[in-house]
Structures are given as C-alpha cells and as structure tokens.
Structure 1
Amino acid sequence: MTPIAVIGAGSWGTALALVLARNGSPTRLWDINESLVASLKKDRCNLAYDIPEKFPDSLEVFESLESLLADVQDVLIVVPSHVFVRVCQTIQPLLPANVRLAWATKGFAPTPPYFLDYFVGEIFSKDTPMALLCGPSFAKEVAAEQPTAINLTGNNEAFIESLLKRFVCRNFRLQRRADLVGIQLCTVTKNILAIAAGICDGLGYAANTRSAMLAKGLQETQRLILAVGGKADTILSLAGVGDTILTCTDNQSRNRRFGLALGRGGHIVQAKKDIGQAVEGYDNVKQLQEIANQHQLILPIFNGMYRYFYADLSLEKLADIFISV
C-alpha cells in the first residue's frame, strides 16, 4: 500500500494517523509546530494533546513538509478551518497532478464562499479527487480504540474505495454519504449548537431547555442544507444528528465548554484563551449568518447566536429564543 501523508498533528490528526497506521497503511505525520514534531519523534506518542498511545512502526513523523509529501498521492489534512486554504496553497506546488485530497477539518474557510471543497477545486483542480471524514468522534476515544463510526463523503469513487480500505477496521467504521456540501454544513452547525447547549447549561437551565433548543437547531440545519443544495436526510446522518448529539452533550467538546464558560458569566476572550484550541463554532457564526441571508432564511437559533456574539443580545434574551415557538 502506498503511503498517506497526514498534515496536522493535533489530537484529531494524531488519532486518525493512529487508525491508519494500526490498520497497516504506511502513514506519514507532520505539523507546523516544530517543538511538537520534536516531542512526537522523541516520545512516539502525543503527550501535548493528551494522547499517550504509542505510535506503531508504520507511523513515521516528518520534520520537513517537502519530505513528507515526496512520492505521495494521498493526503489527509487535519488542521483548523481558518488555516485550511493556506495549507492547500502551501502544499499544492509540492504534490503531483494526480493528488487525491481528503480532509477531516470541520468548519468554514474565513472567506466566501466558505465551503472547503470550493477552495480545493480552485487551488488544485475541480477534478481533483476529494473526500471529507466527519461524524461523532472525540479524538481521545478514537486513539484509545473505542468503537467509532463516522461519515465519508467525496466526489471520486476510486478514492472513496481506497479510503475505506485504509481506515475501516473493527473499531473504526466509515459510512458512505453522497452529500459533500450538506456534510460540510453539518460540521459548522453542530459546533454552533454545542456553544448554545453549553450556554443553556451554564445559565442553569435544565435538560428541557437544551433539548428544545437542539430540536429547533436541527430543523434550522436541515433548512440550510436544502438551501445550499444538499439532501434533506443528511440531517439524520452520523455527521448530522450524530455529531450534534456528541458535541452538544459531552464536555470533551471544546465548543460546549466555551458555551458553558459564557453561560456562567465568562468573557469571550478569556473563555477562548482557557480552551486553548480553536473554537470553530465561534469563528463560523458570522459566516453562517451570511449564508442564511443569501438564501433569505429566518433561523432564530443561529441568528440569536450571531446577535449574541456580534450585536447586543443578552444571554437571557438568547435563552428566550431557545424555547420560543
């Protein structure tokens, strides 16, 4: 089997690299953080991101991006969404014309039209085989080989089949889904809803309030999916309702923890600093509101989150929106 290069050695990138390597795929791992790379090579695990599982021999850590990508056709990008485009621009000259690009990045790019597959098509080619992995999956649990199932979607049958062979094993399953745009949207909405769920709990509201808000948020997500050309039943997928349930109900979610801090009276800047990693939901609220405006959609939950972050809506008024009908 040919090697696959994983770009991004945070918790999620490391966990996916472990799945690949354990499953017999020659796996290369790189990160822009030189001190992190040095510790990965020394410790043969990722203690910086609380992943103590030892790297198999088939997982090789690279110091040089050029060496990482030498003679590689398949690439998996696992970086925060706000740097995804920049990473693609950096690696494009280093890759062959027949490159196949997958990503497990969740969220929007910072600039319109926001969807990551658009930028892959612009930087590489619209015919470039591309794929997205997304679903209910905490990195630490995947690294610890807890049974996990997520969605795999893309535009090229041969690439999809290749990724299935690389990834699928007893404790890690991929369910195919033919809706690249809809799945991408779910990676955004579930994080915003997780912040909202955290706010509910931080304010001291009980399960009734949170559940009503989530039901309405999922309905709004389905309307958004249809508006951008996705499929109605994508909301019921692992990446849709599955990842929303996971992210909104477990404190391993940094978006939920961010919301909890805000609901308990914390300041946005300090709450983000305390999380210590990208809070994708906060970054994507404004972009989602722009898409809703473009399609003339009235979405009270997502609009309420936008107004809370960027206007003068109070937490109490936001909570009223969560349970209004």
Structure 2
Amino acid sequence: MNISVLGTGSFGTSLAMVLAGNRHDVMMYGRNEAVVDEINSRHTNGHYLKDITLPEEIYAVSNLEEAVLHAELLVIAVPVKAVRGLTRNIHEILLSHRKKVLIVHVAKGLELNTHLRVSEVIEQETTDETVEDICVLGGPSHAEEVALKSPTTVSTASLHNKGVETVQDVFMSKYFRVYINEDLIGVEIGGALKNIIAIAVGALHGLNFGDNAKAAIITRGLQEIARLGTKMGADPLTFLGLSGIGDLIVTATSHHSRNFRCGIMLAEGLSLEEAEEKMGMVVEGVNTTRAAYELSEEYGVEMPITKVLHQYLFDDISEEEAFYKLMMREKTSESIGLKELLHEQYKDGSNQ
C-alpha cells in the first residue's frame, strides 16, 4: 500500500519504520529540510531517535502535495495544534486532484480553544469527497521502543467504522499488535487526558515523593479520565484497556515520556517555558490540562488532579500548596461518581 506519514517527529518516524517493515511503500513529509535530507542521505533522524537506523526504503519530502498524492493512506503524526492547518491543506490538495484517502492520526490531545478531539478537527476540515474514514491509533507506545521493535500493543477506532480493518492490517506485525476498538471517543479521550496525569506524576517524582504517592495519582487520575470521558460519550470500559490504563501507565512512569519529564523539570524549579524549551518537543499535556479543566467546568465533572495541576501550571501556586489541596480535599468515597456513571451507561443493557 502507498502510505505517507505526515510528520518527522519520533512517533511518526517509528511508525514509518513499522510500515516499511511490513513492505509498504512509505513516504514521510516534514517541513524541516535538514531533517528530510538526513532521512534520505543518512537514514537517521538523530534529533528524535538517537542511534536508530531507518530502513533505506523510507523516502522523505518537504512538499506536502507530493506526499498527499503518493498516498492511499495518510498518517497524521503532528502536534495537535498543527492538525487543523495541515488537514485543511490536505483537503485542498485532494479536492483539486479528485483523490480520496483513508486518514489515521496519532495525535494525543485536545484542540485548545475548541476542546475538540482530533478526529473532530479533521472531520471539520474534510468532506466525504476526499476522505474515506478518519481513524485513531492509540495506546501504550513509546516511539523509542517501537523503533527498537520492542513488543507493543495499540488499538484503533474510527469515525465511520470503515477503515479500522485496513489500519489493523497495514500496521500489524510480529512486534506491533493492533486491536480494533469500537469506541472512538474513549480511545481519543484516554490518549489525551493521560498526559495531564503524567505531568502530575512527574512533578511528584521530581519532589522525591515515593511510589505510594505516584500510584495514588495514577489510580485517582484514571477515575478523572473515566468520569469526563463517559460524560463526553465514551464507554467507561474503554478506560480499563490499552487506551486507558495502558497508555496512562506507560506515560506516567517512564523517562521516555515527555510529559513525565516535564513534570520533573517543573518540580526541579524550571518554569513552564524553560521546561518546554529544554524538551525541544511539544508537551501535549500542557494545553490538554487547560482544555480538560475547561471541559470539566462545562460538563460539571469533578477533576481535582486536573484542577490543581491547572493552578500549578497557570496560576503559579507552589508545589506545597498543590499537594495540600489534593490531600486535604473534602472527605469522600473512593468510587463516588464512577458507579453512577457505570450504572447509567449499562442500565438498559444496550452497551453490554
């Protein structure tokens, strides 16, 4: 299959390696001429994947039209803030050439001002004339480990349920396993909101708090993700799977995770701007914290970790005050809210 990966970051590059290994004709698109030249001439992408040699079959271009016209399937692997503009350009190219493609995105976040999920952004900027289906690929998948062919399992879901089997087929390999999930909202919300919790856990790690504290934030964070996600239309059981607890664990416990590392840097005294500059890559959890906090207010969902992290990131409260706010909240039951959501979701048997 002819496939173009739009984005030359770490995850886009590692997915291009998976696809090339599966004998697809893979082209990458990137705006940075130096990175494009490095991929073509040296078969490396050293800034994002150190000490990794790319398959010689992967070819990179800096011309978007060339990449779009090459493809039957487009993989959008850019930061969330770049998705709308890129998709608009893709649509114009496809429309002018009367071409139709399948789109799969791997962006994990929410659009800042609209609070839309990435598939919703793509849907707004395309039509049925140009796009067969819009899919997401998500789950616990550090790019560095995918590039090393470490066993990885992910899930895919789609808007129209037309493209998931194709996505499963083209990505599946002996080290990269893809499951089909029918809950597009849940897969996208789980992938987005886990970045918030990862920043919080990173901050605890930077403060030298122990495993008890980190386990508590991960566990309570999953409840927050499930509460908001379910209110937005997701199946709560999705958050017990790869795109829920799976993605949360891998993002909130590993130094491969830029969100986790960002939290550590903040706890060590760096400003948010300094941490992002030092990272050299987009930290999706920062904007997602703002968007999720605003969504929690809109839906009337209690999200104490998100609320406190929002204050820590944007209102400049101290680590001590943030910790106190979480520990000294009003006394409550562990499962309050979640049991009600599960009962409401499954009471008529329609989601069994």
TM superposition score category, shorter chain reference: over 0.9
Shift in Å, 1:72: 2.5
Counting only pairs closer than 5 Å after superposition, residues 115-194 of structure 1 correspond to structure 2 as: 115-125=117-127, 128-194=132-198
Kindly indicate whether residue 76 of structure 2 is the aligned counterpart of residue 77 of structure 1: yes
3-state SS in 2 of match to 1:49: coil
How many Å separate the matches in 1 of 2:115 and 2:215?
31
Identity %: 28
How many Å separate the matches in 2 of 1:53 and 1:11?
11
Counting only pairs closer than 5 Å after superposition, residues 249-288 of structure 1 correspond to structure 2 as: 249-288=253-292
Aligned match of 1:9: 8
Shift in Å, 1:275: 0.9
Q: Deviations over 1:151-204 (max 9, x none)?
A: 111134441111111110110001111111121111221111111001111112
3-state SS in 1 of match to 2:308: helix
Q: Which amino acid aligns with 1:107?
A: G
Kindly indicate whether residue 109 of structure 2 is the aligned counterpart of residue 107 of structure 1: yes
Q: Contact 2:186/2:243 (CA < 8 Å) preserved in 1?
A: no
Cα gap change, 1:23/1:285 in structure 2, threshold over 3 Å: closer, same or farther?
same
Aligned match of 2:312: 308
Aligned match of 1:318: 322
How many Å separate the matches in 1 of 2:314 and 2:47?
33
Aligned match of 2:37: 38
Q: TM-score, normalised by structure 1?
A: 0.95
Q: Deviations over 1:39-86 (max 9, x none)?
A: 111111212212443333432222322211225231110001111111
Counting only pairs closer than 5 Å after superposition, residues 206-225 of structure 1 correspond to structure 2 as: 206-225=210-229
Kindly indicate whether residue 228 of structure 2 is the aligned counterpart of residue 229 of structure 1: no
How many Å separate the matches in 1 of 2:163 and 2:202?
37
Shift in Å, 1:149: 0.4
3-state SS in 1 of match to 2:301: coil
How many Å separate the matches in 2 of 1:72 and 1:212?
45
Gaps of 5+ in 1: none
How many Å separate the matches in 1 of 2:89 and 2:44?
26
Gaps of 5+ in 2: 332-352
Cα gap change, 1:321/1:234 in structure 2, threshold over 3 Å: closer, same or farther?
farther
Cα gap change, 1:38/1:207 in structure 2, threshold over 3 Å: closer, same or farther?
same
Shift in Å, 1:112: 0.7
3-state SS in 1 of match to 2:163: helix
Aligned length: 324
Q: Which amino acid aligns with 1:228?
A: M
How many Å separate the matches in 1 of 2:160 and 2:302?
35
How many Å separate the matches in 2 of 1:137 and 1:91?
26
Shift in Å, 1:106: 1.1
Q: Which amino acid aligns with 1:48?
A: H
3-state SS in 2 of match to 1:47: coil
How many Å separate the matches in 2 of 1:157 and 1:228?
19
Q: Which amino acid aligns with 2:48?
A: Y
How many Å separate the matches in 2 of 1:217 and 1:306?
14
Q: Contact 1:209/1:323 (CA < 8 Å) preserved in 2?
A: no
Q: Contact 2:140/2:154 (CA < 8 Å) preserved in 1?
A: yes
3-state SS in 1 of match to 2:47: helix
The range that moved more, 116-125 or 54-63, is 54-63
Q: Which amino acid aligns with 1:289?
A: Y
Q: Deviations over 1:282-314 (max 9, x none)?
A: 121111111111101121111111111222432
The range that moved more, 129-138 or 57-66, is 57-66
Aligned match of 1:23: 22
Q: Which amino acid aligns with 2:64?
A: L
3-state SS in 1 of match to 2:188: helix
Kindly indicate whether residue 65 of structure 2 is the aligned counterpart of residue 66 of structure 1: yes
Q: Contact 2:112/2:290 (CA < 8 Å) preserved in 1?
A: no
How many Å separate the matches in 2 of 1:52 and 1:7?
22
